[in-house]
């Protein structure tokens, strides 16, 4: 199937945020901290700028969507309120006529700091000896217990694993960007967004404007996101304030150097978890702690991450109990946030390494251990989370067959089979509207594509309901002016929630026309519009998978994936090529966390990476492995039938590659990434 999104991209005609220009456009520049923790004593203003913005003019904080159980929420000021807490934090901002003046004006600003000792690791933060914020370094501390916890006492075997999953820079191909244009009445925002509705909500809170006065639209093309482009960021607020003061459009385009230290970064999770089991291979449950490095501030949804990871540790297994302490702590690094998988891969690595260790401890084949404990239908986890039905039995049986054959084929390589079930964040649903008339069929959906084929997918789903060719249906996405209520694209949700909203709104249109005694063709050719809008409500669902990795070490002692096999229950593969593309990309990102990507800092809190290459972003040279994808289609209990796969590849590839490398070297590792020096040294 030819995807309508591809033509403009491959012909070089695609329009990104920085391709959009308005008359009298002005440009925002930001002066950023060069210290990880300091008091800002004073600063100078650059000469000849259109506007200078500091705390005295801004005086607002970034909105937070916290876990309601958090006791120590510290919001990030849009610009420094007298202190800075990570390298790259905005101190002041300014507006100029020529974007090429920005670097010169940044150099003009002299900042006088009083440096303070930074807190840079989870362990340092937990000590609370050096307090970043007044109420200490711990933002959230939860004891999450459920199920038959007393079964710990009946365990015959316990295994424990401590793992640090280091930070990763969220590196989409296109950095962030925004254009703010206030016309005296309404604030118009265009940018590289995953959720225009979330951006509107954040700006509403930060600026104190009513939602009807803010119109947010995504640029025609968004060059990737991986979670980084869901919320508003300080520069969006600054551009909006500047436009409201100057009454001119203000553009901010993030440089790659800025992006490397700007919120949000991914991962940053330390865990110490124990698995309890029986010698016959029965897994009883897990106990331990999960600690998330939140960075310098509570930012977007980062305080929800500890409990989210804890809730996913059950994996695709019939666990009897769960007892997890979930913490989020502040450090003097950029705030963390969702990165492709957003807790799912972290949880899968924790659980799957424990399953491997358990199998080894009892002398049982690890595939047999998984089979013995595998889900076979709907399941309520010990923490009360509902996992819906899927073909779990078929997945593990097929996975075992492939695993055994690969073991025969590669006798001198590391081979691992892992299993997972990733939550699809379909809740609370999605908004859609359809309008027909004057020869047009117009479909509007609240999702925010950033590399996914939403237009083609939704046109296809609508065509199936309406009986029209997909090419006759025009699709507009991620625009607050056209849909009353929308959510956006993240958490593998778009085909499940957005696709279902499309189906339901099209059914609603046919019902309306039936009551009016009109045919669809008559309505399309009418001089008047017929319009139907809906918000389809749904709860979360799950996408299970079984992945197998074959790993070797090359002559330079660098790990290399030789072959990878992924079997996923996708619900319904609406456009097969697009489903494949999502899983292929996710797998590479999961692999890269094991031995390529990270965001290291020195003892003073300075990043010791200055490019995407130094941050470990994989290239085509790292993706030369043989890859086989296999789909199972057990429709979800949703109109679209789709389960969502955007994060399935990452969730599977991280533990599969990690464990395969352990099996190859017959060693256990306790962190990601695993560096070449750590492979050489026992």
For the stretch 669-680, pLDDT in tens is 999 999 988 888
Contact 300, 206 (CB under 8 A): no
Residue 174 three-state SS:
coil
Segment (H or E) for 10? helix 4-10
Contact 29, 76 (CB under 8 A): no
Q: Which residues pair with 178 in a beta bridge?
A: 191, 252
Segment (H or E) for 312? helix 305-312
pLDDT of amino acid 676:
87
> 18-33 burial string, b = 16+ CB within 10 Å, else e?
bebeeeeebbbbbbbb
Count of C-beta atoms within a 10 Å radius of residue 666: 7
pLDDT of amino acid 677:
86
CA distance 547 to 632: 13
CA distance 160 to 560: 27
Question: Could you tell me which CATH number the domain at 427-535 has?
Answer: 3.30.365.10
Question: Could you tell me which CATH number the domain at 387-420+542-681 has?
Answer: 3.30.365.10
CA distance 597 to 587: 14
Q: Which residues pair with 465 in a beta bridge?
A: none
Residues of the chain falling short of pLDDT 70: 682
CA distance 139 to 82: 21
Domain limits, the chain: 1-22+116-368, 387-420+542-681, 427-535
pLDDT of amino acid 640:
97
Q: At 165, phi and psi to the nearest 5?
A: -100, 100
Residue 514 three-state SS:
helix
Q: Do domains 1-22+116-368 and 387-420+542-681 have the same CATH topology?
A: yes
Q: Which of 122, 141, 142 has the alpha carbon at shortest distance from 132?
A: 122
Q: Given the structure tokens 């304030």, which residue do they identify? A: 241
CA distance 352 to 342: 17
* CATH class of this structure's domain 1-22+116-368: alpha beta
Residue 238 three-state SS:
helix
Q: Which residues pair with 329 in a beta bridge?
A: 138, 293
pLDDT of amino acid 679:
87
Contact 614, 596 (CB under 8 A): no
Residue 338 corresponds to which tokens in the numbers above? Answer: 């969702």
Q: Given the structure tokens 């389960």, which residue do they identify? A: 643
């Amino acid at each position: 199937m030819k995807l309508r999104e591809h033509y403009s991209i491959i012909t070089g005609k695609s329009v990104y945020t920085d391709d959009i220009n308005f008359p009298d456009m002005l440009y925002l520049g930001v002066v950023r901290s060069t210290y990880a923790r300091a008091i800002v004593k004073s600063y100078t203003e650059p000469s000849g700028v259109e506007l200078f913005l500091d705390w005295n003019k801004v005086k607002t904080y970034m909105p937070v969507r916290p876990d309601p159980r958090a006791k120590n929420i510290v919001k990030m000021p849009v610009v420094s309120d007298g202190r800075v807490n990570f390298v790259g934090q905005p101190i002041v901002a300014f507006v100029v006529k020529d974007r090429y003046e920005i670097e010169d004006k940044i150099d003009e600003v002299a900042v006088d700091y009083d440096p303070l000792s930074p807190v840079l690791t989870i362990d340092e933060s937990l000590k609370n000896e050096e307090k970043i914020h007044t109420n200490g370094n711990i933002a959230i501390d939860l004891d999450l217990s459920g199920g038959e916890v007393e079964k710990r006492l009946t365990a015959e075997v316990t295994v424990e694993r401590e793992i640090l999953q280091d930070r990763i820079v969220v590196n989409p191909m296109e950095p962030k960007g925004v254009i703010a244009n206030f016309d005296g009445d309404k604030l118009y925002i265009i940018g590289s967004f995953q959720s225009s509705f979330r951006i509107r909500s954040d700006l509403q809170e930060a600026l104190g404007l009513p939602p009807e006065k803010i119109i947010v639209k995504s640029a025609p093309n968004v060059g990737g996101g991986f979670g980084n482009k869901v919320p508003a960021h300080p520069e969006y607020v600054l551009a909006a304030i500047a436009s409201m003061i100057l009454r001119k459009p203000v553009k901010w385009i993030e440089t790659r150097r800025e992006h490397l230290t700007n919120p949000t970064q991914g991962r940053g999770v330390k865990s110490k978890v124990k698995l309890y089991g029986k010698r016959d291979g029965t897994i009883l449950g897990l106990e331990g702690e999960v600690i998330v490095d939140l960075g310098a501030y509570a930012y977007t949804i980062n305080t929800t991450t500890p409990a989210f990871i804890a809730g996913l540790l059950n994996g695709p297994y019939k666990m009897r109990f769960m007892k997890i302490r979930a913490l989020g702590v502040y450090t003097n690094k950029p705030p963390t946030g969702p990165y492709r998988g957003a807790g799912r891969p972290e949880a899968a690595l924790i659980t799957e390494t424990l399953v491997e260790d358990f199998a080894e401890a009892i002398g049982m084949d690890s595939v047999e251990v998984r089979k013995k404990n595998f889900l076979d239908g709907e399941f309520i986890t010990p923490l009360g989370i509902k996992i819906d039905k899927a073909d779990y039995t078929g997945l593990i049986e097929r996975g075992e067959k492939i695993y055994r054959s690969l073991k025969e084929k590669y006798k001198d390589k590391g081979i691992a089979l892992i299993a997972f079930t990733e939550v699809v964040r379909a809740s609370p649903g999605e908004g859609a509207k359809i309008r027909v008339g004057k020869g047009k069929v117009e479909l509007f959906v609240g999702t925010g594509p950033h590399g996914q084929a939403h237009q083609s997918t939704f046109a296809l789903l609508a065509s199936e309901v309406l009986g029209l060719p997909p090419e006759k249906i025009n699709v507009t996405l991620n625009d607050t002016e056209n849909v009353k209520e929308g959510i956006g694209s993240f958490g593998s949700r778009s085909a499940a929630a957005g696709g279902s909203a499309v189906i339901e709104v099209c059914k609603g249109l046919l019902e309306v026309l039936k009551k009016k005694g009109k045919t669809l063709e008559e309505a399309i050719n009418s001089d008047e519009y017929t319009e139907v809008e809906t918000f389809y409500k749904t709860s979360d669902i799950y996408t299970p998978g079984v992945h197998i990795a074959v790993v070797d070490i090359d002559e330079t002692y660098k790990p290399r994936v030789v072959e990878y096999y992924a079997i996923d229950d996708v619900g319904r593969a609406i456009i097969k090529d697009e489903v494949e593309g999502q899983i292929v990309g996710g797998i590479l990102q999961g692999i890269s966390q094991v031995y390529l990507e990270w965001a290291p800092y020195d003892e003073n809190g300075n990043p010791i990476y200055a490019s995407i290459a130094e941050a470990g972003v994989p290239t085509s040279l790292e993706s030369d492995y043989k890859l086989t994808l296999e789909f199972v289609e057990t429709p979800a209990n949703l109109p679209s039938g789709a389960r969502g796969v955007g994060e399935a590849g990452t969730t599977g590839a991280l533990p599969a590659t990690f464990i395969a490398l352990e099996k190859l070297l017959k060693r256990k590792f306790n962190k990601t990434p695993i560096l070449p020096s750590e492979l050489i040294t026992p």
